[in-house]
Structure formats: C-alpha cells, structure tokens
Chains A and B, each alone.
Chain A
Amino acid sequence: MEPLIRVRGLSKRFGPGCDRCLDSTGPEHDTNVCPHCDSVTACSDLSFDLFPDEALGIVGESGSGKSTLVRLLHFEWEASGGSMELHRGGAAALWPEIFADQDQFSANLLTMSQFQKRQIRNALMGIVYQNPHLGLRMQVSSGGNIAERLLGAGWRNIAGMRERAAELLERTEIPVRRMDEPPCNFSGGMQQRVQIAKALSNKPLILLLDEVTTGLDLSVQARVLDLIRNLRREFKLSMLVVSHDLGVVNLLCQRTMVLKSGRVVEEGLTDQILQDPQHRYTQLLVASQL
C-alpha cells in the first residue's frame, strides 16, 4: 500500500545557523539551541510516511519540534530543508501540474509557490490548533468560520453552505441554533469542536491535530477525543495527532513517532512504544505516565 504523504529530511532552523549546529544539538545534547551561534534547530531531518486512513501519533515534550512539524506541513512556516510529496491518488485530478507524467508522487510541495501551497492546503488538509484563537475568527459567526473554507474552495450558495455548516456542527455535537453566534461566546470544548467542524468543512484527506485537547476539562477532552475517533472512522481520514499525552495517542493512533530536541528518536506500533520502548527518552516518557 502506498503512503498518502511522503516526508523526507524535514528540518526547520530559526536564526543564522552555522556548520556546527547539527552536531551540537539533538537528543544526545538534550537541546536544540546551538551553543555556537544561538540558532534553534526546531526540527531536523524528520522522515516518515502517512498512509491513507491512518492515525499517526507524534509525541514529545515541549521543545521537541512536534508543533513545528505541524506548522511546516500546513505550510505556515517555510521549511529550511527537506521534502514533502503527495501521492497521485491523493489529488491527481486537482493539480495535474505538480505530478511529472508517470510519477506516483508529486514534486516537493514545500518548494512550490505560495499560491499552489494554499490551494493544496485548502483542499487537502484541515487543522485544529490547541489555541482556538489560531484556528478561528472569534468575532465571525461559527457558521461563518466554516463557510470561509467553503468559500475558499469556490462554494457560492448561501443555503448550501449553511446546510453544510449545520450538518458539520451537528456531527460535532454543537446546537445548530447557535450557528450564527461567534465562537467567542462558546466554551473551550465547543470552540475546539467548531475548529473540528471547520477543519472537516471541505472533506480534507488529512487532519492535523496539534494538542487539541490540552487544557480542556477531562469530561470535555473525552468527548472531543471520542468525536475525533468516530469522525476518523466515518470519513476515512488520515490524521497526524500531536500530543504530549501518551493516553491521547494511545486512544487514537495505531503508529506513533517519538520526538526529542527536534529529532525522531523512535517510531513504531503504538502498543509496542508503550509496552516495549527502545530509546532511552521513550522509556523515560513512558515511565513518567501517570
């Protein structure tokens, strides 16, 4: 089976950088700040595949580069290096120009024009941030937030968009009568669910979840996670679940990648990572589970 997305050598550095950055940062130095030039190697040489209808877990503590990874895949930040290729099955019809004639995989998405990136992102990806302010326009109605993505994808019928928004809000357990209320009137859990509804609005193939339940009350977190699990099964979504909480990843993901100081220290089946961790840091992470 072919992966949907192939990521190779993905790295991001903040600051001037020097030739000694790479070998003086990383898990063995327990830092991603280069002592020589002070630049931060947020993540370096990350490689993995994301398969259709698969939930891949990304765990690591803060500063491990997991959120940077999501921002890079969502084209919010310019990658310093590496490639990200989309499988032909993913969206060949939409952008024939990014596939060289016979190739199974597209050209490197990271080096494409902002215009193309935004097209691809709008059609392919949905994202849910930990902080709802990043994902939503707080003063615009929640239905409007969903409509924005539909509008970006060319929808031009108000009734049609409202129907789609109502359907998504219902799916994410938000009372449809509150569709015209702005998210700033909603609770934290509801805001996350509006984000999920917005992320699903034009049927993405990939859902990026960046610490979506962090900071929510336990009962609210449970409800959001169950919703995500059911949606994944229903929409056959590929998901990248970023979390510092192994419990979240265990609930949602079959495979998990462990990041530390910007590098992948271990990758494997989620139950194997939890029950038979190989790398020192993973063992520490699993041992520090509550």
Chain B
Amino acid sequence: MQLHEWLADDRRQDDTARSSGYPFGFMDDGAKKEIRRSILKAVAIPGYQVPYGSREMPIARGWGTGGLQITLALVVPDDILKVIDQGCDGSVNAVNIKKFVAKVAGVAVTTDTGEATIIQTRHRIPEERMTDRQILVLQVPYPEALREVEPSEMETRRMHAEADYSRMWLHLYEDIVNFGEITISYRYPVTVNGRYITDPSPIPRWDVPKLHMADTLFLFGAGREKRIYAIPPHTAVEPLEFEDHTFRTENFAGKTCARCGAADTFLDEVIDNIGGGRSYFCSDTGYCDKRSVTWNR
C-alpha cells in the first residue's frame, strides 16, 4: 500500500473501529502523530534511538507495547496484518495482539508473509525475503546495545554521540579471551550505516544478515524503554566482528524440519520425552505451512 495510493483513496471511517468505543487504532490522533514523527526521525538517522512519549497499552509492558504502538500508528484500514512471536503465528501473545489490532483498526489478518503489508514480530525475522511494499515492526526489550557494558543511560548516550565504542569492542575481545569466541547469541550488536551500534532486538544470529541491504523497512519499537529506531531499506548493517573471528550464524547442519523437510530455516528444538530425545521444526510456522502444503503433496 503506497502512501499516495492511500491518500488518493477517500477512506470511510470503518464502522468496526467505531463500535469498539475507541478511536481508529486505539490511540488518539495526537499520540499517532507523535509516533509517526518519531518514526520519520528514526528513518532519517538509521540506527539512532529516538526517545518518544510511549503510551500505556492494554497489554503489559515488556509484552510488545513498543511494536504495537508503531503498528497502530501506521495501520490503515486495508492493510493486511501478520503477527508472530518466536516465528510462530499461533503463539499466545501474537494471537492476542493480532485480535486487538484487528478489533481497533478493522484490518484483515494473515499468516502468509508474502500477503502481509505489516508484520509485527518478536525475536524472529520471517524466512521469506520481504519486499519494498512491506514493513517489519520488531518488538524490542533492550533498545541499547551498549547496555552490555554500561548500565547508565546518560553514559551510553554520550558514547553514541561521540561514537566512543571501544568498550563494546573490548567486551567482544574479552569474550574471545575467556571463551574462545564471541558468546553473544541473540541481540548480536550491529553497526548501522557505518555509524551507530544498534541492537537488532533479541533475534538469533541466524536473522541478522537479513537486515543488511534489505528491500523492506525495519522499524524497532521499545515501549517500556520509550525508544523507536529504524533500519531503512538498502542500508548497510554489519555485525560487530573481527577479521580473524568473523560472525557466524547458528549451526543446524544435518537437521531438517520434521514437518516440511526444510534444511535452510531456523529450527526449534522440542524435547520429545523424559529421556531427552529431540525433534526439530521450523520456527517460522507460516513459512513451514506453505512449504509443507507443497512438500506433502
């Protein structure tokens, strides 16, 4: 849905939104406007954390209020929404958020990545490559990658302002000294646009390369911590690595999805029985559904 298309088309106020007694998109227009302006600033300065007046939502802090506010600020009636948690459409919290947004914005929902115009996600990026007609909204618990080395917000903002990142690099160096490799598993810090060190949200290493020079717009919303930041399309996103200790993703060699046979997706490990037997399934259930339909035929 391009913006100009939406503006040209005269929107009728959808009656489902009115019936819930709440304004379209649950938030008042002032809130939506502020969040949109924060998003624009975030896109203008890739990787920079824009502080914004985060509103309380009917779901708990730490359960996706940041992502929700971005979705609600952006959604238009004929958007198609997909919501996933740990890659799964059926996950309890994802279902809740989807129901809530559908109720207050009257939008259609889907589990098919290709079909969705807005995808709100927690801790995963869909396996399918997203297009320039889609937006991925990531829920963020810790917006500050430097929190690993510096608890104080005042100090981390100075470090960003001065691009004084040696302490973060030192942390990685010490990891290698103590453990023989960089032990960061999720929230692997990346440098966006060659300037800001940014926290990609707790996505596994597996998803980090998908952020680099992508076609789609990535918007990161931290509700509790009141920050919005973005990785615009075609932006360089490089994981912090050393020439002789390069970034590597999780290793699923020899394992395939028990449901759709995929060998190139991030696999969940499920404990079968008390004896500790394991089986593996695609974490991205939408993708797995589509594959298993064709795979089982």
Contacts and interface: CB of A to CB of B under 8 A. Distances in A.
Do chains A and B stick together as partners?
Answer: yes
Interface of A: 114-115, 118, 137, 140-141, 143-144, 147-149, 151-152, 156-161, 180
Given A114-B162, A118-B164, A149-B166, A157 B244 contact: yes
A143 B173 CA distance: 10
A115 B244 contact: no
A114 B166 CA distance: 15
Interface string B163-189: 110110110011011000000000000
A148 B242 contact: no
Contact of B242 (A140, A141, A156): A156
A159 B174 CA distance: 13
Nearest to A152: B166
B245 A158 contact: yes
The A contact surface, by secondary structure, is helix
A151 B243 contact: no
Contacts of B177: 141, 143-144, 180
Nearest to B167: A148
Nearest to A157: B243
B60 interface: no
A113 to B, nearest CB: 8
Contact of A159 (B162, B170, B244): B244
A87 B176 CA distance: 40
Nearest to B164: A118
Contacts of A141: 174, 177
A55 to B, nearest CB: 28
B162 A147 contact: no
Contact of B161 (A115, A147, A160): A115
Contacts of A115: 161-163
B169 A151 contact: yes
Contacts of B242: 156-158
Nearest to A140: B174
Contact of B173 (A114, A118, A147): A147
A160 B245 CA distance: 12
A118 B174 contact: no
B243 A148 contact: no
18 contacts: A114-B162, A118-B164, A140-B170, A141-B174, A143-B177, A144-B170, A148-B167, A148-B170, A151-B169, A156-B241, A157-B243, A157-B244, A158-B176, A158-B242, A158-B243, A158-B244, A160-B244, A180-B177
A150 to B, nearest CB: 9
Nearest to B158: A114
A93 to B, nearest CB: 20
B170 A151 contact: yes
Contacts of A140: 170, 174
A118 B162 contact: yes
A6 to B, nearest CB: 26
A252 to B, nearest CB: 29
Contact of A144 (B163, B174, B243): B174
Per CB-CB distance, the 5 closest pairs between chain A and chain B, nearest first, are: A152-B166, A151-B169, A157-B243, A148-B170, A151-B166
A148 B162 contact: no
Interface in B212-250: 241-245
Nearest to B169: A151
Contacts of B169: 148, 151-152
A152 B241 CA distance: 14
A148 B173 CA distance: 9
Contacts of B161: 114-115
A148 B170 CA distance: 6
Contacts of B245: 158
Nearest to B166: A152
Nearest to B240: A156
Nearest to A141: B177
Given A144-B173, A151-B169, 5 more contacts: A141-B174, A144-B177, A157-B243, A158-B243, A180-B177
Given A118-B164, A141-B177, A147 B243 contact: no
A151 B163 contact: no
A161 B162 contact: no
Contacts of B166: 148-149, 151-152
A114 B241 CA distance: 27
Most buried by B among A151, A160, A161: A151
A201 to B, nearest CB: 11
Contacts of B163: 115
A137 B150 CA distance: 13
B174 A156 contact: no
Nearest to B241: A156
B155 to A, nearest CB: 13
Contacts of A157: 242-244
Nearest to A148: B170
A111 B173 CA distance: 34
